[in-house]
């Protein structure tokens, strides 16, 4: 499929997915009701629900999906590994340990956020400090450092979960599976997505060259070491922002870029905007299903990203054998 | 006009504790074609990478037109110096055409995409390597030989004046070997400077005017191809007895047992 057409298609999907998220919930709204609530000057329940609850939520879901998908694209380019996702370098592990520890101590939302941010930052600095050697083209050290740190964090997470009491465990599991109901810092997240997305698109030619081989990239005039450091920190910022917004929502960052590639688009100047759009719409859809399908029960959104995404991706994979 | 001179001055190269050459001097001028021969592990690739500025020498300098490589901006260097590396195991998800087009990266005028001229040059290089039919195929579905041809097409697209080629003939069948060497010979006639790692003494004889013999103990010998491509030198180089055959005026060297 030509990239331009796919881009237009995905652009059309954005209002559709946002509308789907806005209409569905414990108070279902018809399209016309939603329209009135959005633009009318009413003071009814529908308007309150829409502006106070649903709009922030769908916007959070969209930006979070975009951040994760973009982070996945950048990390797959950096690590030259199709299995790379936003969480492979231990950033989410560090954030999770921070968040869970705060929850165990009974901290509030703000303290939990701060603690998870601290954990993530520590992980970023540790992995970069130990794993990155300037001028060394072999990126496995970085990858291994990240994976080792992730494993360590995994053990700590298990420990924290066993130490926690009944109710706390549920909150922790929601954090671990991803949960968008406490999304905060929405404008900042949108700013990060736009800024990094724009930068990455501008520099997409270099990303293509890096994908062709590191030595080759150096021979073609790319300052490989600087690019790698830049990619690492860009991906880290995206990941941390997404983690702060919705916990560690799995699957989006790994699979969205692959879905675009399986359709046949791999040039980064298209891959980057397309992934961000698809990731955003996809997460809005998954989040809406997670909160409405068995309402009033709410499920972690991570469950639905996987349940929705796995069949689609398996189909795409089998299609092009 | 092409007046690019690549020069190594008192170059000492080592990798992983192994000495590859010591205080080595050489100059590659426009219109020259150099063949690099040596045993496996003698350091041919490392030497080539050093000349390309991809490996740091222990001592000495490599310079392009009297300016040290490190002092050139990487992009500027890439506009003049084309490097063919042995296949890197990597993931390239795009098509063959997109892969070949990457060779235009150092010449790219705009940040967004490539110009029509860039695409024309890529098309020409694809045709030179007989890859037109594969242009739209995903790069990672190619065979080893086809990948090698795509890599050569990418370097040709770069339109450099000096080419450093690491085993350009690897994985190629006989016809494509001949074709590729013809393409390189034409570059030489146009005034480009070339240096290529070869394992085939016959191609070295036919196409190279200079050869560099890299011995396993770290000493190197270079000079006119005719003078160095003799049985005595090659037996010393490969450390095995060779038989010399003469076919239509060409010297063939066959490993004896």
Residues in A touching B94 (Cβ below 8 Å)? 208, 211, 266-267
B61 close contact with A: CB closer than 8 A: no
Task: Please determine, for residue B111, whether its predicted confidence score (pLDDT) is greater than 50.
Answer: yes
pLDDT computed for residue A174 by the predictor:
86
Contact A248, A302 (CB under 8 A): yes
Nearest residue of A to residue B113, measured between CA atoms: A205
B1 is a domain residue: no
Asked if the Cβ–Cβ distance from B94 to A267 is below 8 Å, we say yes
Q: Quote the pLDDT of residue A192.
A: 97
Confidence band (pLDDT; 50, 70, 90) for A185? confident
Number of domains observed in the structure of chain B = 1
Q: Is there a contact between A215 and B85 if contact means CB atoms under 8 Å apart?
A: yes
Of the listed ranges A258-262, A293-297, B47-51, B154-158, the least confidently predicted one is A293-297
- pLDDT of B1 above 50: no
pLDDT score of A40: 75
Question: How confident is the model at residue A127, as a pLDDT?
Answer: 92
Q: Which residues pair with A117 in a beta bridge?
A: none
B106 vs A211: CB contact, 8 Å cut-off? no
Lowest mean pLDDT among A109-118, A196-205, B106-115: B106-115
Query: Average pLDDT, whole number, for chain A?
Result: 90
Q: How many pairs of residues across A and B have Cβ atoms under 8 Å apart?
A: 77
Within-domain flag for B250 = yes
On the 0-12 / 13-18 / 19+ scale of CB atoms within 10 A, A209 is buried
pLDDT at A212: 80
Q: Is 70 exceeded by the pLDDT of residue A257?
A: yes
- Structural domain containing residue B74: 6-255
Would you call B64 an interface residue with chain A, using a CB distance cutoff of 8 Å?
Answer: no
Beta carbons within 8 Å of B253's beta carbon, 6+ residues apart: B201, B231, B234, B242, B243, B244, B245
B115 touches chain A (CB under 8 A): no
Question: Domain holding B121: CATH number?
Answer: 3.40.50.300
Average pLDDT over residues B88-107: 87
Q: Is the pLDDT of residue B90 over 70?
A: no
Least confident of A7-16, A26-35, B136-145: A26-35
Q: Where are the domains of chain A?
A: 3-319
pLDDT of residue A45: 84
| Residue B93: per-residue pLDDT | 84
Report which of residues A177 and A42 the model is more confident about.
A177
3-state SS track over chain B: CCCCCEEEEEEEEEECCEEEEEEEEEEECCCCEEEEEECCCCCHHHHHHHHCCCCCCCEEEEEECCEEHHHCCHHHHHHHEEEECCCCCCCCCCEHHHHHHHHHHHHCCCCCCCCHHHHHHHHHHHHHCCCHHHCCCEHHHCCHHHHHHHHHHHHHHCCCCEEEECCCCCCCCHHHHHHHHHHHHHHHHCCCEEEEECCCHHHHHHHCCEEEEECCCCCEEEEEHHHHCCHHHHHHHHCCCEEEEEECCEEEEEECC
Looking at the partner chain, which of B73, B83, B105 has a beta carbon nearest the beta carbon of A209?
B105
| C-alpha torsion sign, points B178, B184, B190, B196 | negative
Do β-strands B81-84 and B162-165 pair in parallel, antiparallel, or remain unpaired?
Answer: parallel
Tell me which residues of chain A have a C-beta less than 8 Å from any C-beta of chain B: 80-82, 202-203, 205-206, 208-209, 211-216, 218-223, 261, 266-267, 269
Picking from A84, A219, A320 by the largest number of B CB atoms within 10 A of its own CB, the best residue to mutate is A219
Q: How many CB atoms lie within 10 A of CB B55?
A: 18
- In the stretch 76-105 of chain B, residues with CB closer than 8 A to chain A read 76-79, 81-83, 85, 88, 90-94, 98-99, 102-103, 105
CATH of A3-319, one of 3.40.50.150, 3.40.50.720, 1.10.3210.10, 1.10.3470.10: 1.10.3470.10
Percent of chain B with pLDDT over 70: 97
> If you average pLDDT over every residue of chain B, what do you get?
92
User: Could you tell me how far CA A271 lies from the centroid of its own chain?
Assistant: 15
Q: Answer whether B74 sits within 8 Å of A222, measured CB to CB.
A: yes
pLDDT at B7 (0 to 100): 94
Give the gap in angstroms from C-alpha A205 to the nearest C-alpha of chain B.
7
pLDDT over 90 at B97, yes or no: yes
Interface pTM, i.e. ipTM:
0.89
B70 lies within 8 A of chain A by CB? no
pLDDT at A135: 67
- Give the tens place of pLDDT for each residue, A15-31: 999 999 999 988 888 88
Q: Is the pLDDT of residue A262 over 60?
A: yes
CA distance A250 to chain B (A): 23
Confidence of residue B2 (pLDDT cuts 50, 70, 90): low
Nearest 5°: the CA angle A231, A234, A238 is 135
Q: Please indicate if any CB of chain A lies within 8 Å of the CB of B111.
A: yes
- pLDDT surpassing 90 at residue B187: yes
């Amino acid at each position: 499929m030509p990239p331009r057409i796919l881009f237009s298609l995905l652009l059309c999907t954005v209002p559709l997915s946002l509308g789907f998220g806005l209409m569905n919930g414990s108070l279902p709204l018809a399209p016309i009701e939603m329209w009135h609530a959005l633009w009318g000057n009413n003071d009814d329940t529908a308007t309150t629900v829409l502006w106070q609850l649903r709009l922030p939520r769908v916007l959070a879901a969209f930006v979070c999906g975009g951040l994760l998908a973009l982070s996945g694209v950048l990390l797959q380019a950096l690590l030259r590994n199709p299995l790379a996702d936003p969480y492979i370098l231990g950033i989410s592990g560090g954030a999770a340990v921070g968040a869970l520890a705060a929850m165990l101590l009974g901290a509030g939302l703000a303290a939990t956020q701060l603690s998870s941010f601290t954990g993530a930052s520590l992980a970023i600095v540790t992995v970069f400090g130990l794993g990155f050697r300037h001028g060394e083209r072999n990126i496995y050290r970085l990858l291994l450092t990240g994976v080792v740190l992730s494993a360590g964090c995994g053990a700590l997470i298990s420990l924290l979960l066993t130490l926690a009491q009944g109710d706390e465990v549920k909150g922790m599991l929601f954090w671990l599976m991803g949960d968008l109901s406490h999304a905060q810092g929405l404008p900042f997240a949108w700013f990060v997505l736009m800024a990094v997305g724009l930068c990455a698109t501008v520099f997409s030619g270099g990303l293509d060259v890096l994908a062709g081989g590191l030595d080759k990239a150096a021979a073609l005039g790319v300052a490989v070491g600087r690019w790698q450091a830049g990619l690492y920190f860009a991906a880290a910022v995206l990941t941390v922002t997404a983690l702060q917004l919705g916990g560690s929502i799995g699957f989006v960052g790994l699979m969205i870029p692959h879905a675009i590639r399986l359709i046949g688009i791999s040039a980064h100047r298209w891959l980057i905007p397309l992934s961000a759009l698809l990731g955003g719409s996809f997460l809005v859809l998954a989040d809406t299903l997670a909160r409405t399908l068995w309402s009033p029960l709410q499920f972690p959104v991570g469950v639905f990203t996987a349940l929705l995404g796995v069949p689609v991706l398996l189909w795409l994979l089998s299609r092009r054998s | 006009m092409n007046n690019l001179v690549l020069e190594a001055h008192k170059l000492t190269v080592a990798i992983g504790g192994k000495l590859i050459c010591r205080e080595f001097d050489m100059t590659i001028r426009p219109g020259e074609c150099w063949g690099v021969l040596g045993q496996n592990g003698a350091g041919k690739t490392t030497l080539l990478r050093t000349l390309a500025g991809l490996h740091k020498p222990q001592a000495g300098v490599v310079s392009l037109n009297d300016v040290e490589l490190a002092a050139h901006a990487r992009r500027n260097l890439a506009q003049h110096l084309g490097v063919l590396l042995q296949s890197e195991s990597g993931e390239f998800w795009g098509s063959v055409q997109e892969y070949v087009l990457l060779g235009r990266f150092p010449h790219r005028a705009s940040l967004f995409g490539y110009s029509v001229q860039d695409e024309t040059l890529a098309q020409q290089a694809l045709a030179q390597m007989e890859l037109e039919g594969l242009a739209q195929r995903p790069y990672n579905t190619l065979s080893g030989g086809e990948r090698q041809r795509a890599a050569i097409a990418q370097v040709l697209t770069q339109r450099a004046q000096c080419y450093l080629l690491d085993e350009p003939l690897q994985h190629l069948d006989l016809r494509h070997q001949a074709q590729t060497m013809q393409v390189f010979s034409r570059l030489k006639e146009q005034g480009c400077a070339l240096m290529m790692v070869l394992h085939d003494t016959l191609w070295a004889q036919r196409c190279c005017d200079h050869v560099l013999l890299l011995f396993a103990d770290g000493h190197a010998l270079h000079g006119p191809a005719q003078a160095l491509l003799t049985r005595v030198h090659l037996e010393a180089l490969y450390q095995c007895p060779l038989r010399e055959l003469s076919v239509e005026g060409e010297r063939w060297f066959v490993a004896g047992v």
